[in-house]
Amino acid sequence: MPKSSTVGKAPEPAVVQGAAPVADAAGGFTPAYWDEACRHLGKRDRVMKKLIPKFGEARLQSRGDAFTTLARSIVGQQISVKAAQSVWDKFTALVGGVSTRLEPDAVLGHDTPTLRTAGLSVRKAEYLTDLAKHFASGAVHVGQWQDMGDEAIIDELVAIRGIGRWTAEMFLIFHLMRPNVLPLDDLGLLKGI
């Protein structure tokens, strides 16, 4: 059983109170609850009390659409940030997208051997195709995610080849800006605490 948790055991609200994002100067969106959450955690948790001041002005930011965010996650798996950016640039040029907005149909218009010419492994090309199929068919309910609980969204995402629980949790945190997700087997988090 994977180690992960949504913080607290109370039933999830349909919509997170105060989660509406606020546009910021960096071109992303910071959740409205951010500053209050940092103050609360700093008072309640001895580890977070030490970490929050270290990272001062750091903000949680969401950028891009769901499909593009998940596609970038797949491309970046198990390679360096620099290599991931290089492959991503080649991939988006190949499928005719822009690096900030990719359409599922653009991916579905190419077979695996063609996708591989962008530097993708066979598996990643297959995963990106599966992701595109899920989005194009409506198998993922993007328009309903704001009203769905975390576990329901995770269940939808892990049904896509190439997306595991950790990727789904990162998506909840960094794209949907859900405040009560704690990926207990995240190496960066474990090193930080």
- Supply the Cα-derived Rg of the chain in whole angstroms: 18
100 beta partners: none
Residue of 45, 65, 130, 186 marked catalytic: 186
**Token match 């990727």: residue?**
167
**Contact at 8 Å (CB) between 157 and 163?**
yes
Tell me, yes or no, if 186 is annotated catalytic.
Answer: yes
Quick one: tokens of 59? 């903000």
Rounded CA-CA distance 108/115 in Å is 10
Among candidate residues 43, 2, 1, 49, the one with its CA nearest the CA of residue 185: 2
Residue 183: CB atoms within 10 A of its CB come to 21
**Contact at 8 Å (CB) between 109 and 102?**
no
Residues that are catalytic: 186
